[in-house]
Structure 1
Amino acid sequence: MTTHAVLSESAYWQILRPGQALTEGHLALRPKDGAPIDRSDVATDLLHAYRTCRAGLHAALGCDGFGVSFAWSWVPRGDGIGEPRAEWDQPTIHVFGRAPNERVKPVRVMALPAHERVAALPAPERMRLDCRLATAFAAAGADAGPGPDLQASPADCDGCVPEVARDQELWRADEVRVIRPRRPLTEANLLVLPMRHVASPASLLPDEVLSYARRLREVRAYFAGRFGSTGLSCFLNDGARAGQETPHVHVHVFGRSADESRNPFEVLARRIGIRSTP
């Protein structure tokens, strides 16, 4: 199997090409030496690594949208539909650059059982692309900023309207709220979003990232108590190209367990017409 390649690294984070990259623009952010996310300097460096990732994918592949996927205390089991294969012991954030001329949509690959997925690129082409990406990451360097954000006002944002607090919110703390989705995929499905109107995760503040981590711990405990979940699967869409419809950062969170009756990603794939309903 192809081994992973480190393309860039900062004080606490590495940008890598996974060994089983699912698309041209599939990269991973991994903490170095188990760096704890609950420290402000680690959160600040994570934001910088993600911004560098976006800038490099845009420069090398023309990506203008980004899908983000990560698991917490959960390892994909069985067919692994809906998630990249776990390659490291540390928590890993998978980033999928989305470009106008992309060869395949990430969701179509992840809707396949893990054993049916094939390499995104032949080895020589992959190596050439990785060299371009490493060069683009080095060029982005300290200048990697959040990039352009969606320009919708709070008045036009589904994440800011008063109905969210009235009808959907479960709890909030430290400028981040947990809400019920309007159309949940499974019972153990919630959204986590900042109180502040911000469209892209690249525009979050370090304190908001830290609050996100605390809210996700609370969601994990909530799902464990109500549904017996042992971990979480999470994803978000960054930009219209990635399928973001609401111009407000929101992470989709699912409770997962080995004995779950339904894989939420299979439900999603059927809802959007990628997998047929049995």
Structure 2
Amino acid sequence: MNTIATFDRISTICSETVTGHYSTSFSWAIRLLHKDLRMHIHAIYGFVRLADEIVDTFHQFDKEALLDQLTQATREAVESRISLNPILHSFQITVNQFDIPLTLVEHFLRSMRMDLTKTEYTNHTELNAYIYGSAEVVGLMCLKVICEGNSTKYNQLAPAACKLGAAFQKINFLRDLEDDASQLKRQYFPGVSMQNLSDDKKRQLENDILADFKAAYTGIMQLPAKGRFGVYLAYQYYLALFNRIRKRSSAAMLEKRIRVHNIEKLAILLEAGIKHRFGFI
């Protein structure tokens, strides 16, 4: 006889499938988390991907209506503790189990809504608000899971989690500068476009990202053991991508999308595994 546990498990599998299909890097990193945490990080990623697909992919549909539906359905799922949408059902399990503040979810959805109409960020105050909602709060949701109810540890590490989320998002912006402008008609970095990106401007952006990375690393090393290895691996993946970006000239940045190939990801995984095995992580 089927029970609610059956639906819970199916919903978890759906979130895991979404993660695996859309991001091999995060899938590998999540596998290195403790088994108690994996399904919940998959749940967060699955929810985030739903919203991201609405604003970035579903061009032939009414995006605003779809985002309204998702916002309402998410609120109802968390309040009622069930959803017929498996992705939202697995997400509400995580939100309720780890007492993730709904304000974080609302900030995320607010930033996604900005992508529907806002095409340019003219100052860093606007950009920082967008990054907080689109990336930093996702890091905070994951941190709530990793800290497993330890509020003191969560509050201690929250600033570093935000810096890691910001670094990841800024790298995405820099890597996808051409795609964002030509396909989505968006310009995230104030005063920086495909037409005026210079080596000097690129270096300034990289220095800002590097500062975020350094602040994030300190926090990663203080994470609870269950979550440290997986987060460290995600950090290393993005650091490898960042280093590839730094080696490219501003002109070359626009010629071909930069990515970290699977063989390099495997090397990063093996190196991280050795460090973890001997207690360096």
- Between structures 1 and 2, the one with greater strand share: 1
Report the TM range for the smaller structure's normalisation.
under 0.3
Normalised to the residue count of structure 1, the TM-score between the two structures is 0.27
Normalised to the residue count of structure 2, the TM-score between the two structures is 0.27
Larger Rg: 2
